[in-house]
Amino acid sequence: MRSTVPLVAMLVLGCAHLGAASRGKEPSPFDGTWKRDWTKTTPRGVHVVGSRTIHIRATGVSTERSTLKLTQTISGVTKTLRIVQSCEATRSEMKAGVLSIRWSKPKLISPSPSEIPPDLHLSTEPVTYTYVIRGKELVATTGDLTDNFRRVDPKT
């Protein structure tokens, strides 16, 4: 009986240590859901309503979903096209307060490819963004393009 107690105690302490070690690192300030909404009208008269939502997990798999609603009226006929794409992080790196994410090739969720007008060009290549937090905003940069996101309540 005496030899069983230390063995049980070692197993319990060992499991507690493994449980603490498996929890991993603390969440990064980037972790969470971020969103960007915008509207614009192109010179050709296409009204664009867009939204990008990023779920960042600096030590896990991050995902992004974008939605574009394009509306154009020609000769009194209004046409609307809603495009939804998604992608996920293929590589993430955190260095000196800057998060870099390499996003996969976007996957077209809707509509079907045959419904996309031939003169409409969608992003179809993987891209790398760098992210920094400035105040309450997430600033995303790739090349000459910079977008500002706001943190979204996890319940929304």
104-131 pLDDT per residue, tens: 999 999 999 999 888 888 888 999 999 9
Structure tokens at 37: 């909404």
φ, ψ of residue 16 to 5 degrees: the values are: -65, -40
Q: What is the pLDDT of residues 45-72, one digit of tens each?
A: 999 999 999 999 988 899 999 999 999 9
Residue 57 CB-density burial (10 A; 0-12 exposed, 13-18 middle, 19+ buried): middle
CB 65 within 8 A of CB 84: yes
Nearest to 80 by CA among 108, 55, 48, 51: 48
Q: Name the residue with higher pLDDT: 73 or 8.
A: 73
State pTM to two decimals.
Answer: 0.78
pLDDT greater than 70 at residue 1: no
- pLDDT tens-place string over residues 8-22: 333 333 433 333 333
Domain boundaries along the sequence of the chain: 26-152
Instruction: Let me know: does 129 contact 145? Beta carbons within 8 Å.
Output: no
